[in-house]
């Protein structure tokens, strides 16, 4: 899939910034950022356009949020972090909204309880559309008028806001899929949305280049703070799977009693299997002996050739043990991806790694409220690499670190294997 960067850093045909990029004028930057802002804001609305007003209110579990909330929260982010500090003339759209639409920023003030977002029928969808339009106009005015001395910092916060909105575009889809999966009528999000297909080609494992390799973000393009500092990692003698684990391979695990064999599972994983009654990946159900799964295009037969998705870290870990393999570390994943060894690294399923989500050596969170973006979550979660079918265009990077708690499986999460030599 062709991907275009949000960032205005010029790139050559290979997608790399040229060694001496031509400096852009402030007027050119205003146009680039205005267009990027419009493009990202429009993508959110285009994803929400598949949903009715009722769809947009529902919150099917504490981890998920209503689509209406996502649309308002990403708008609050621009209001709170871009407009209020940088536009003295800006008027808050509604003084009640920051409490409703702040997610987890303690430094930005008190906030509504996350598990109760689905109880907020008012403001209604039209109010949220008005909020978006109000903030859109104010952001465009700021882009148009920001003085040269403030442009770099304003565009920097704008860029974070755009990447933040893209993260919520993915959540908007995964959250509504979870809600639709609870509905006995198997609603369709988008009948025309193609299911992800795995790349054809030789399967099996490939040798990794053992030794010391640098991982983490490099270059001038955007990254989140958790992708830095770039640093060295020791890669052992290990081989990594070219392909993602498929549904066919997962069916072997099921048929072999994988979900009923405690020796395959971490203790917490086995407890989750027992408590949740897991017998298959999330959204799978058996009708007359055949497996079906809820997809964005509705209930569909499980495609044996497609990569498995909607599995927890515990399931990925148990499958790897069943297969006599391991999950790759995030450093192994990144080195392999940079070396071009991985099929389907991006665009189908986030891939669980065996790496805990921890700060890179020397990591420092930013000062102020935006320092809460990533750093305070660096405990008890596991890293996923790559990107998924729900990830927006231009939002994937080889150094990108996604993270979720081990039991989570409402994301498009899958796995690839590694084996030690
Ligand atoms: Fe957010």
Over residues 382-417, the pLDDT tens digits come to 999 999 999 998 899 999 999 999 999 999 999 999
Distance 113 CA to ligand 1 centre (A): 14
Distance 50 CA to ligand 1 centre (A): 21
Distance 168 CA to ligand 1 centre (A): 7
Q: Tell me if 370 sits within 8 A of 332, measured CB to CB.
A: no
Average pLDDT on 261-278 reads 98
Residue 115 has pLDDT above 90, yes or no: yes
- What confidence category does residue 358 fall into, taking pLDDT thresholds of 50, 70 and 90? very high
Distance 23 CA to ligand 1 centre (A): 32
Helix or strand or coil: residue 337?
Answer: helix
Q: Residue 366: its pLDDT value, please? A: 84
Distance 163 CA to ligand 1 centre (A): 10
Distance 110 CA to ligand 1 centre (A): 15
Residue 7 has pLDDT above 80, yes or no: no
Average pLDDT on 5-25 reads 62
Distance 286 CA to ligand 1 centre (A): 35
Average pLDDT on 155-173 reads 98
Distance 254 CA to ligand 1 centre (A): 36
Q: Residue 369: its pLDDT value, please? A: 87
Distance 74 CA to ligand 1 centre (A): 6
How far apart, in whole angstroms, are the C-alpha atoms of residue 73 and residue 10? 31
pLDDT in tens, 26-59: 999 999 999 999 999 999 999 999 999 999 999 9
Distance 335 CA to ligand 1 centre (A): 29
**To which H or E segment does residue 238 belong?**
strand 238-241
Q: Residue 307: its pLDDT value, please? A: 97
Pairing of strands 382-385, 350-356: antiparallel
Q: Tell me if 238 sits within 8 A of 328, measured CB to CB.
A: yes
Average pLDDT on 17-26 reads 76
**To which H or E segment does residue 27 belong?**
helix 26-48
Distance 81 CA to ligand 1 centre (A): 12
- What confidence category does residue 220 fall into, taking pLDDT thresholds of 50, 70 and 90? confident
Distance 339 CA to ligand 1 centre (A): 32
Residue 12 has pLDDT above 50, yes or no: no
Long-range contacts of 20-24 (CB under 8 A, 24+ apart): 21/220
Q: Residue 3: its pLDDT value, please? A: 38
Distance 115 CA to ligand 1 centre (A): 15
- What confidence category does residue 233 fall into, taking pLDDT thresholds of 50, 70 and 90? very high
Distance 172 CA to ligand 1 centre (A): 11
How far apart, in whole angstroms, are the C-alpha atoms of residue 404 and residue 357? 9
How far apart, in whole angstroms, are the C-alpha atoms of residue 350 and residue 12? 28
- Look-up of token digits 């996502």: 70
Higher pLDDT, 421 or 3: 421
- What confidence category does residue 8 fall into, taking pLDDT thresholds of 50, 70 and 90? low
Distance 17 CA to ligand 1 centre (A): 29
Higher pLDDT, 115 or 6: 115
Distance 119 CA to ligand 1 centre (A): 19
Please tell me whether the overall predicted TM-score, pTM, comes out greater than 0.85 for this model: yes
- What confidence category does residue 5 fall into, taking pLDDT thresholds of 50, 70 and 90? low
- Look-up of token digits 């795995």: 198
Distance 164 CA to ligand 1 centre (A): 6
pLDDT in tens, 294-314: 999 999 999 999 999 999 999
Q: Tell me if 317 sits within 8 A of 269, measured CB to CB.
A: yes
Q: Please list the residues that pair with 157 across neighbouring strands.
A: none
Distance 229 CA to ligand 1 centre (A): 23
Q: Residue 17: its pLDDT value, please? A: 55
233 phi and psi angles, rounded to 5 deg: -130, 145
Helix or strand or coil: residue 201?
Answer: coil
For 266, half-sphere exposure in the C-beta direction (CA atoms, 13 angstrom radius) is: 14
Distance 301 CA to ligand 1 centre (A): 34
Distance 101 CA to ligand 1 centre (A): 9
How far apart, in whole angstroms, are the C-alpha atoms of residue 59 and residue 64? 6
List all residues 6 or more positions away from 229 whose beta carbon is below 8 Å from its beta carbon: 216, 360, 361, 362, 363
How far apart, in whole angstroms, are the C-alpha atoms of residue 183 and residue 327? 34
pLDDT in tens, 55-93: 999 999 999 999 999 999 999 999 999 999 999 999 999
What is the chain's mean pLDDT, rounded?
A: 94
Distance 268 CA to ligand 1 centre (A): 28
- What confidence category does residue 2 fall into, taking pLDDT thresholds of 50, 70 and 90? very low
Helices 67-78 and 26-48 pack at an angle, to 10 degrees, of 160
């Amino acid at each position: 899939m062709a991907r275009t960067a949000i960032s205005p850093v010029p790139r050559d045909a290979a997608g790399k910034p040229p060694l001496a990029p031509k400096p852009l004028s402030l007027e050119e930057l205003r146009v680039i950022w205005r267009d990027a802002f419009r493009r990202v804001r429009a993508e959110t609305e285009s994803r929400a356009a598949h949903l009715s007003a009722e769809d947009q209110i529902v919150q099917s579990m504490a981890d998920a949020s209503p689509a209406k909330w996502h649309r308002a929260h990403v708008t609050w982010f621009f209001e709170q972090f871009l407009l209020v500090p940088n536009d003295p003339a800006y008027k808050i759209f509604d003084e009640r909204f920051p409490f409703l639409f702040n997610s987890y920023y303690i430094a930005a003030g008190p906030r509504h309880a996350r598990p109760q977002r689905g109880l907020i029928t008012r403001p209604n969808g039209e109010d949220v559309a008005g909020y978006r339009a109000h903030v859109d106009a104010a952001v465009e005015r700021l882009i148009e008028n920001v003085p040269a001395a403030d442009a770099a910092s304003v565009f920097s916060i704008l860029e974070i806001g755009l990447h933040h909105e893209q993260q919520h575009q993915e959540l908007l889809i995964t959250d509504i899929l979870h809600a639709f999966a609870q509905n006995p009528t198997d609603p369709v999000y988008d009948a025309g949305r193609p299911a992800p297909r795995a790349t054809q080609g030789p399967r099996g494992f490939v040798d990794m280049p053992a030794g010391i390799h640098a991982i983490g973000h490099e270059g001038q393009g955007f990254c989140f703070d958790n992708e830095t500092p770039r640093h060295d990692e020791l890669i052992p003698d290990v081989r990594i799977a070219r392909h993602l684990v498929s549904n066919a391979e997962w069916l072997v695990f099921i048929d072999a009693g994988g979900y009923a064999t405690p020796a395959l599972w971490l203790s917490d994983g086995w407890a989750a299997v027992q408590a949740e009654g897991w017998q298959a990946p999330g959204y799978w159900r058996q009708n007359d002996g055949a497996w079906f799964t809820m997809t964005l295009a509705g209930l569909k037969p499980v495609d044996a050739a497609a990569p498995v998705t909607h599995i927890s870290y515990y399931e990925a870990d148990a499958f790897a043990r069943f297969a006599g393999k391991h999950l790759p570390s995030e450093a192994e994943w990144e080195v392999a991806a940079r070396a071009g060894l991985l099929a389907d690294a991006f665009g189908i399923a986030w891939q669980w790694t065996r790496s805990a989500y921890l700060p890179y050596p020397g990591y420092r969170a930013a000062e102020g409220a935006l320092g809460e973006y990533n750093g305070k979550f660096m405990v008890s979660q596991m890293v996923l690499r790559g990107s998924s079918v729900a990830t927006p265009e231009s939002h994937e990077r080889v150094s990108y670190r996604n993270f979720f708690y081990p039991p989570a499986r409402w994301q498009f999460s899958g796995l690839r294997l590694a084996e030690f030599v």
